[in-house]
Amino acid sequence: MKEVLLADNPGIDNIIEYLTANSGKMIRPRLVYITASMSEHDPSVVRDIAVAIELIHLASLIHDDIIDHAMIRRGKPSINSIWGNHASILAGDYLFASAFNLINSHGMQAIMENVTATIRTMCSGEISQMSLAGDIQITEEKYLEKTYGKTACLFASSCKVGALASSMPGESVYALEQYGLCLGYAYQILDDLLDFMADSKTLGKPAGNDLLEGNITLPVIHALKNKEYGDRLRSLLKNQHFNEQKIALIIELLINSQSIDYSLCLSRRFIAAGIKHLDSLEPGPAVKELKYMAGYLLVNYYRQIRHNEKQIQDVVQI
Amino acid sequence: MKEVLLADNPGIDNIIEYLTANSGKMIRPRLVYITASMSEHDPSVVRDIAVAIELIHLASLIHDDIIDHAMIRRGKPSINSIWGNHASILAGDYLFASAFNLINSHGMQAIMENVTATIRTMCSGEISQMSLAGDIQITEEKYLEKTYGKTACLFASSCKVGALASSMPGESVYALEQYGLCLGYAYQILDDLLDFMADSKTLGKPAGNDLLEGNITLPVIHALKNKEYGDRLRSLLKNQHFNEQKIALIIELLINSQSIDYSLCLSRRFIAAGIKHLDSLEPGPAVKELKYMAGYLLVNYYRQIRHNEKQIQDVVQI
């Protein structure tokens, strides 16, 4: 990744060194690798497509962090907190252009079409969601629409472009894309749950941070509809001045109203649906790995809310 | 352009309606059209490439306006002043992705390569220039380097991709790219001059705005080297508190030190060099039009500093 990005230009190269030294879980490029591995493919093409997908993800994170004034990313100071908004906007643009440059170098038109369309969807989706910030009238349907643009469509794209980089039949490409879509929904729902359930040290930000930013997520939407707890939650959310104590009360309410469980259950359903899409594919190590990745989302969730490994094995049946 | 961009999504579509209703001079897409017209070409391809180039230009303007906190663009409120920074970052990303999507739809790999490389150059150039903000030690060489990334490379790219979209021999593509490069330098030098010489009503911003933003341009660099005026200018620039009176003094100094003339002369040399590159091409209406566009940069300059048309004809010999 670093090799692709370095520009022999100290301004951008410092940012790149920092970015590449603090890589994340690399879920999206791993999806590219695994899906491509299921059929004949050129490893150097697949590597570049995987890098491009991670660059697009990184670019969107950098731009999101400017938008959210986020000071921390992956447990380290964010790009904008070190280099300022100015350089961060440009660094994001630079990563986007580098990703497209890389994909184009292999002349794979269908992949470029999918990736550019995905970014259009991500951006237009996020813009249209802006008006929903802090809106407690938001429905579960709207939440899922938001989740599609924010996360699921790039997960789907990661699987699809990996598949397209190999010589796979159309139906298999479609099945993998659907698997990625489900995985993306599950990932985001669990991530939203962690915002309430993980401790702030693990999160690297205060619990309930989404509420502070007006991001109304699934457990809150669910609890607001609850006859017994809805009104109490509405009054807690009313004047928006969230302190630690108030957040703790909200979290307790989300647990008692079964809204955490409901959300967990929905993410499990997405994981199951994603795995189901793999049924049409020939069994083998790649399918096994994709199933493992789906299940791992839950393992990761329970780890972060500090269940011990024994408890996790009991709860997660992959 | 509108047709390509609309997403059937009110969030982004409102921004697009606004953007497309306030189009600028369209110099870059015109360069695409004219250069492509010199040889056999598919008009629908050329149209899409021209649109893509304008989209990239627009995206970079939107992101620049966020960076500069600019409230006015093309005489109207800027996107960030109406929709905020959040939507503006995303709208810029959306335009970039749309441009790449459009270029890719024709599968023209060489064009995509050139355009993505150009954006990389623009971004990395701008980042490395950030450290020069307000630095009165900046040399003319550094200024030209900055001008390359800021303007000249996209002008060069506009000509090159137009040429590549037609069936032109390599030497002609190269000549047109060099013409575009020269035109871009001349354009930016004149634009920097207008910042001092046009009245604020024409500019839509206060005269001397570049100085307020720490953008040290060619006339200032030249005057700082002047034995008679350099020290006086240095002291005027020292404590950065620019009011109207101080700016007026600086402008007078730039005129008296011949720094305005020097810069004008350099832009004329770039225009002449650009026109010279056209010599190797077959004469015809396209070459004539390109020569006209080069000369028109000067006409436009003199119009904006309120010479009357008779005076302009005397000064500008195209």
Q: B282 and B239 in contact (C-beta within 8 Å)?
A: no
Q: B291, B318 in Cβ contact below 8 A?
A: yes
The first and second tokens of residue B117, run together, are: 């490389």
Interface test with A, best of B56, B120, B142 (most A CBs within 10 A): B120
Number of Cβ within a 10 Å radius of residue B174: 15
Q: What is the per-residue pLDDT across B214-240, written as a single tens digit (0 to 9) for each?
A: 899 999 999 999 999 999 999 999 877
CATH topology assigned to domain A2-315: Farnesyl Diphosphate Synthase (1.10.600)
* Most A-contacting residue of B104, B113, B114, B150 (CB-CB within 10 A), to test interface: B104
Q: How many beta-carbon contacts under 8 Å exist across A and B?
A: 148
Contacts of A109 in chain B (CB under 8 A): 104, 107
Residue A46, classified by CB atoms within 10 Å of its CB into exposed (0-12), middle (13-18) or buried (19+), is buried
Residues of chain A with pLDDT under 70: 200-201, 203-205, 306-318
- All residues of chain B having their beta carbon less than 8 Å from the beta carbon of residue A90 are 63, 67, 123-124, 126-127
Query: Taking chain B (318 residues) in consecutive chunks of 10 residues, what is each chunk's mean pLDDT?
Result: 82 87 88 96 96 95 84 82 90 96 95 97 89 89 95 98 96 98 98 89 76 92 97 90 88 96 98 97 96 94 77 64
* Distance between CA atoms of residues A147 and A122, nearest Å: 10
List alpha helices for chain A, DSSP H.
2-5, 10-21, 27-36, 43-67, 79-104, 109-129, 140-147, 153-164, 170-197, 200-203, 209-212, 218-224, 230-238, 244-256, 259-277, 285-304, 309-315
> In this complex, do B67 and A60 lie within 8 Å of one another by their Cβ atoms?
no
E runs forming strands in B35-142: 72-73, 76-77
Of A94, A105, A127, the CB nearest to B90: A127
Contact assessment for residue B281 and residue B287, using Cβ atoms and an 8 Å cutoff: yes
Domain range list for chain A? 2-315
Rounded mean pLDDT of chain B?
91
CA-closest candidate to residue A74, choices A28, A16, A25:
A25
Residues of A in contact with B130 (CB under 8 A): 11, 86-87
Task: Give A95 to chain B, closest Cα distance, Å.
Answer: 8
Cβ within 8 Å of residue B22, ≥6 positions away: B73, B74, B76
Q: Which of B5, B2, B27, B12 is nearest to B97 (CA)?
A: B5
User: H or E element: which one contains A77?
Assistant: strand A76-77
- For residue B124, give the nearest of A7, A85, A120 by CB distance: A7
- Residue in B170, B150, B176 with CA at minimum distance from that of residue B33: B176
Q: Which two tokens stand for residue B86?
A: 């959040």
- B117-to-A51, A97, B289, B297 alpha-carbon distances in Å: 17, 7, 27, 26
Amino acid at B93: D
- A187-203 pLDDT, tens digit each: 999 999 999 998 766 76
How far is the C-alpha of A42 from the C-alpha of A44, rounded, in Å?
6
CA distance B173 to B156: 10
Provide, as residue numbers in chain B, all residues whose Cβ is less than 8 Å from the Cβ of A96.
93, 96-97, 119
> What is this model's ipTM?
0.90
| Amino acid in position B65 | D
